[in-house]
Amino acid sequence: MASTPTPSTTTSTPAPDPSWTSKYQKTQFEIKRREELLLRLNQAIAQLSHPTSQEHFAALASYIPPALDKPRFDAAYAHFCQGKSVEMNTTIVMPDVRKPVIDLYSLHVAVMQEGSFARVSTRKSWAVVGARLGFVQTPATATEAARSSPEIAVHLERAYKDRLQQFDYLYVSSVIETVRKRMGEQKKQ
């Protein structure tokens, strides 16, 4: 005669908590994303160790920090302008009567969101930057980002080159240099 197990001896596997699974997947994704960023940063640092101007530029393009927040941007840009002995002007007059002026900070953020000046120029995505700033001529589709007019794109590229390119280059370079120094200090320990 077979005996039936009593409730105290029966082992049951609890159903996995869906929120835990989701958290685990998000954590794994974040770990992988950070590993990829660290790999790109290490590659950038290696290229910076023996820079030629083109390699240096490519290294900067491979690791781009996020845009500065508004208070830090304002302070850093003021310091930059003072050091260059140029007038600090944080507005850009646009050739569009619907939005005649934009803030320089907004352009900084839009370009950094696209991955830096190098990426925007390489991909010729100044029209995408223009759309990010509210100058949408062609709405987004399932496969294409929204775009501004070519006139707006050229105007933004020129304004960025004149007023922000050198500033953002110095910002990105300083972040990479700081990270490189920290990594060097960690290796020594």
User: What per-residue confidence (pLDDT) applies to 67?
Assistant: 93
Return the domain boundaries, the chain.
23-63, 65-173
Contact 183, 116 (CB under 8 A): no
Q: Is 93 helix (H, G, I), strand (E, B) or coil?
A: strand
Taking the C-alpha atoms of residue 100 and residue 139, their distance in angstroms, rounded to an integer, is 20
Q: In the block, which residue shows the tokens 């922000």?
A: 164
Q: What band does 72 get if pLDDT is binned at 50, 70 and 90?
A: very high
Query: Does 102 have pLDDT greater than 90?
Result: yes
Which two three-digit tokens encode residue 118?
A: 């190098």
What is the CA 135 to chain-centroid distance, rounded? 21
Comparing 179 with 173, the larger pLDDT belongs to 173
Window from 58-72, 129-143, 167-181 with minimum mean pLDDT:
58-72
Closest by Cα among 167, 125, 124 to 146? 125
Task: Please state, rounded to an integer, the average pLDDT across all residues of the chain.
Answer: 81
For strands 101-103 and 91-93, give the pairing: antiparallel
State the DSSP code for 85: T
Angle between helices 53-62 and 18-49 (to 10 degrees): 170
Taking the C-alpha atoms of residue 156 and residue 117, their distance in angstroms, rounded to an integer, is 11
User: What per-residue confidence (pLDDT) applies to 153?
Assistant: 96
CATH architecture classification, 65-173: Orthogonal Bundle (1.10)
Nearest 10 degrees: CA dihedral of 71, 175, 161, 143? -90
Contact 114, 129 (CB under 8 A): yes
Taking the C-alpha atoms of residue 107 and residue 115, their distance in angstroms, rounded to an integer, is 12
User: What per-residue confidence (pLDDT) applies to 115?
Assistant: 86
What digits encode the pLDDT tens for the residues 4-34?
555 555 555 556 566 776 677 767 766 766 6
What global pTM score does this model have? 0.64
User: What per-residue confidence (pLDDT) applies to 10?
Assistant: 53
User: What per-residue confidence (pLDDT) applies to 163?
Assistant: 94
The residue-averaged pLDDT of 101-106 equals 95
